[in-house]
Amino acid sequence: MKAAALVRPGEIEIVDVPEPDIRPDEVLVRITGVGLCGSDLGVYAGTRPVPRTPWVLGHEGVGEIVAVGRDVRDRRPGQRVAVEPNYCCLRCPACLAGFTSACPNRVIVGMNTPGLIAERVAVPAEFAFPVADHVRIDDLVGAEPLTVARAAIRRAGIGSGDSCLVVGAGSQGLFLCAALLALGVVPEVAEPHEGRRELAHSLGAKPAGPDAVAFVFETSGVPAALPPAIERLAPGGTAVLIGMNRQSLDLSSWTIVYRQLRIVGSLIYDHPGDFAGTVEVLERGDVAPHRVLQAEFPFEKAAEAFESVRSVPGKVWIRVG
Ligand SMILES: [Zn+2]
Ligand SMILES: [Zn+2]
């Protein structure tokens, strides 16, 4: 069976890999599409080390179940699924508290276990979410990044009609804009790249204005982008940080305390509620991720797909099967 794998930093090849064995609690998924995102680029560039090469990449995968393990009762061959690519252990204190994004034993697909840009992949049944057939593939491929956005929105506590600023209109910023608009929030967007900014506006986001806002979502991870965004927060406002960077921020406790701000870090999503909620949203058609998925590449051109991620506004995805 074929898979797209990193052979050396910056080099992707289609390689032969062994057919996966499925354990009793797993399903075998024939992969049909995989989206590419910033964390995949870190692996691609060699800045995020992986256990070995060739290393199969990709975590935003969807497909169809073709076989189920002997203990699986609630999944069947023929079902379309979206993969939740963070397999938390479901036994540690964080998992038992429902805070699975903090699970220290998390299996992270494409990072510490091989990724999804392969013809077939074994997935724990519980992390393969069935999705109705009417959801188009280029909406379904957006399930994972949309879940990241929806989890940030849930953790922020923002509601219909609230004012907010989204910093960065890379694919995560665009998914946030789409999810906010579906909620009845018209976000402002700050983004230096014209193509990305226009894409955000075409979804319905507004240009950044001068007035104070109740919420800021920082998606760029650029350290210099956060302090001016925080300046825009009204007293009592909330800043949700999704973009990550190891550099320190130029931010005083005076600002945070005097203006009584809330700073919330939002990492991925919590199992199973966030992903299940995204599937419902996609089935109802509340959000249309295909408007963010701007560039489709065939499986054989996986290397070109990775090459183009930084230049294409919106998300790049690979049609696998
Ligand atoms: Zn992702
Ligand atoms: Zn756990």
pLDDT tens digits, one per residue of 146-164: 999 999 999 999 999 999 9
Contacts of 290 (CB under 8 A, 6+ apart): 136, 138, 139, 142
Ligand nearest to the CA of 92: 2
Mean pLDDT, range 302-315, rounded to an integer: 95
Contacts of 303 (CB under 8 A, 6+ apart): 4, 11, 12, 13
CA 36–ligand 1 middle distance (angstroms): 7
Name the pLDDT band for 38 (thresholds 50, 70, 90). Answer: confident
CA 119–ligand 2 middle distance (angstroms): 29
CA 133–ligand 2 middle distance (angstroms): 32
Ligand nearest to the CA of 144: 1
Residue 321 is predicted with a pLDDT of 84
CA 144–ligand 1 middle distance (angstroms): 6
Residue located via tokens 């991720």: 289
Statement: residue 178 has pLDDT above 90: yes
CA 249–ligand 1 middle distance (angstroms): 24
Residue 43 is predicted with a pLDDT of 94
Mean pLDDT, range 124-152, rounded to an integer: 98
CA 172–ligand 1 middle distance (angstroms): 8
Mean pLDDT, range 47-64, rounded to an integer: 96
* Cα Rg of the chain, angstroms: 19
Name the pLDDT band for 177 (thresholds 50, 70, 90). Answer: very high
- Strand-pairing partners, residue 213, are 233
235-280 pLDDT tens trace = 999 999 999 999 999 999 999 999 999 999 999 999 999 999 999 9
pTM of the model: 0.98
CA 139–ligand 1 middle distance (angstroms): 14
Considering the chain, what is the average pLDDT of its residues?
Answer: 97
CA 89–ligand 2 middle distance (angstroms): 4
66-116 pLDDT tens trace = 999 999 999 999 999 999 999 999 999 999 999 999 999 999 999 999 999
| SS3 assignment, position 252 | coil
Ligand nearest to the CA of 115: 1
CA 114–ligand 1 middle distance (angstroms): 15
Statement: residue 169 has pLDDT above 90: yes
Residue 283 is predicted with a pLDDT of 98
Phi, psi for 100 (deg, rounded to 5): -70, -20
**Closest of 320, 59, 318, 134 to residue 50, by C-alpha:** 59
Counting residues of the chain whose pLDDT is more than 70, the rounded percentage is 100
